[in-house]
Amino acid sequence: MEIETVIGNNSFLPILNFVLEDYLACAIPQEREKRFLLEYLGPRSTLSLKYRCLCPRRGRYEIGPFSIYLFDPWGLFFFKKSFFLYSELYVYPRTFNIPKFPPLVKGTVPWFGIETSRVSGDEDEFYGIREYKPGDPIKRIHWLSTARKNKLIVKQFQHQAFFRMTIIFNLDKDKNFGKGKESVAEYIIKIAASVAKYFIERNVSLELIAHIGEIAHIPFNKGAEHLEDIFRLLTIAQAESRISLDELFQEFAPYIPNDSSLIVIMLDQDWEFLPAMLSLKAKNISLIPLILIASSFLHPSEKQKIIKLPEMKSSQAFDFAPIFFSCGDNLEQDFLK
């Protein structure tokens, strides 16, 4: 992170032999207190300081306060004054390049084959009408056209796009194996951030559903601002969930739209919940599992914690074979396997 601080001396007297200190909560412990020894700042003048620090962990931080130490001419005593000025900082999760991803095959083609997108995030921009399809919300029925044609007609809005993608994951506190950056939660967040970036850059309408001690839901949208919203959520997410992935899925499954794709980021310990997710095929929803190998995050002496579960024949169960990740992997390369 690069920082620029401007200090002004409004007095008609110069300031001699003083120390400026900024507190950088996001930096590594030995670099959090950034100090500058200055000999002179003239009257009615300003001074610009530029400095930088490495922010090693994602999170939301407040930079500050800023302090000044004024010394007597002999350096025996000092006077300290703190300025409680803070700057909010989000350190986003580190992302990686995804060189290849299974092509999306479930989508909705808008009227006349023209792709439309919503730029404001609203869903009330009327586009046209069409015949009712199973799964369409009742509130979208166009009653006047329905009466004229003697069959159900629904309103179509501009948020329709060729492809819609839902990302779902659960940061289970009891299954957050590993430590620090080499933990399950950090890998899930890094993968979720990278996948979201990949699809937003390709103009796919994206939704994120997660449990991080509470339900976190970012509805469908596109664009750079939407990606910022997702990154901000992933920045503060912690492994505090006490529910299962299945409970989270059952809560939101009825609302995942027809003709879309679902990416589930999960542990191989949650393999038992996948059969329930396969029920989405009835809504023409494609399931893409991204699976972390739990045992790879444990020290060899701890691997007895892992319960072996029966394997599922992925070639028959999914539209795409699951992608597997282990602790220490080059995640870019995992997407090429």
Give strand pairing partners of 62: 88
Mean pLDDT over 62-67 rounds to 93
- 140 is a domain residue: yes
Q: What CATH number should be reported for the domain holding residue 64?
A: 2.60.40.10
Q: Tell me what percent of the residues of the chain surpass a pLDDT of 90.
A: 59
Do 88 and 236 contact (CB within 8 A), yes or no? no
Mean pLDDT over 73-99 rounds to 90
- Residue 309 pLDDT more than 60? no
More confident residue, 54 or 317: 54
Q: What is the pLDDT of residue 129?
A: 77
Q: What is the per-residue DSSP string for 113-167?
A: G-----SSS-S--EEEEEE--TT--GGGB-HHHHHHHTS-EEEEETT--S-EEEE
Q: Look at 107-111, 184-188, 210-214, 215-219 and tell me which has the smallest mean pLDDT.
A: 107-111
Answer yes or no: do 173 and 152 share one domain.
Answer: no
Q: What is the pLDDT of residue 17?
A: 87
Q: Tell me what percent of the residues of the chain surpass a pLDDT of 70.
A: 85
Do 55 and 36 contact (CB within 8 A), yes or no? no
Q: What is the pLDDT of residue 131?
A: 85
Number of C-beta neighbours around residue 44 at 10 A: 11
Mean pLDDT over 300-322 rounds to 58
Answer yes or no: do 190 and 282 share one domain.
Answer: yes
Mean pLDDT over 265-287 rounds to 89
Residues 6 or more apart whose Cβ sits within 8 Å of residue 45? 8, 9
Residues 6 or more apart whose Cβ sits within 8 Å of residue 191? 265, 290, 325, 331
- Residue 334 pLDDT more than 70? yes
Answer yes or no: do 6 and 87 share one domain.
Answer: yes
Give the torsion through C-alpha atoms of 104, 317, 244, 297, to 10 deg. -80
How many domains is the chain built from?
Answer: 3
More confident residue, 29 or 316: 29
Q: What is the pLDDT of residue 157?
A: 62
Do 331 and 191 contact (CB within 8 A), yes or no? yes
Q: What is the pLDDT of residue 120?
A: 34
- pTM, 2 dp: 0.77
Answer yes or no: do 172 and 239 share one domain.
Answer: yes
Gap between the Cα atoms of 236 and 231, Å rounded: 9
Q: What CATH number should be reported for the domain holding residue 234?
A: 3.40.50.410
Closest CA to 32 of 67, 83, 80: 67
Answer yes or no: do 76 and 186 share one domain.
Answer: no
When the pLDDT of each residue in the chain is averaged and rounded to a whole number, the result is 85
| Residue 82: band (very low, low, confident or very high) from pLDDT cuts 50, 70, 90 | very high
- Residue 324 pLDDT more than 60? yes
Mean pLDDT over 165-174 rounds to 96
Q: Residue 86: phi, psi to the nearest 5?
A: -125, 145
Answer yes or no: do 30 and 128 share one domain.
Answer: no
Give the torsion through C-alpha atoms of 265, 269, 272, 278, to 10 deg. 10
**7-11, 102-106, 314-318 — most confident range:** 7-11
Do 84 and 120 contact (CB within 8 A), yes or no? no
Answer yes or no: do 170 and 153 share one domain.
Answer: no
- 74 is a domain residue: yes
Give strand pairing partners of 40: 16
Angle (deg, nearest 10), helices 224-236 and 184-200: 180
Q: What is the pLDDT of residue 304?
A: 56
Mean pLDDT over 34-50 rounds to 93
- Six token digits for residue 50: 């530029």
- Expressed as residue numbers, the domain containing 246 is 164-334
Q: Residue 280: phi, psi to the nearest 5?
A: -65, -15
Give strand pairing partners of 210: 169, 216
* Tens-place pLDDT, residues 226-237: 999 999 999 999
Mean pLDDT over 17-37 rounds to 93
Do 265 and 175 contact (CB within 8 A), yes or no? no
Do 110 and 127 contact (CB within 8 A), yes or no? yes
Mean pLDDT over 15-37 rounds to 92
More confident residue, 119 or 205: 205
- 98 is a domain residue: no
Answer yes or no: do 58 and 186 share one domain.
Answer: no
| Residue 124: band (very low, low, confident or very high) from pLDDT cuts 50, 70, 90 | very low
- 102 is a domain residue: no
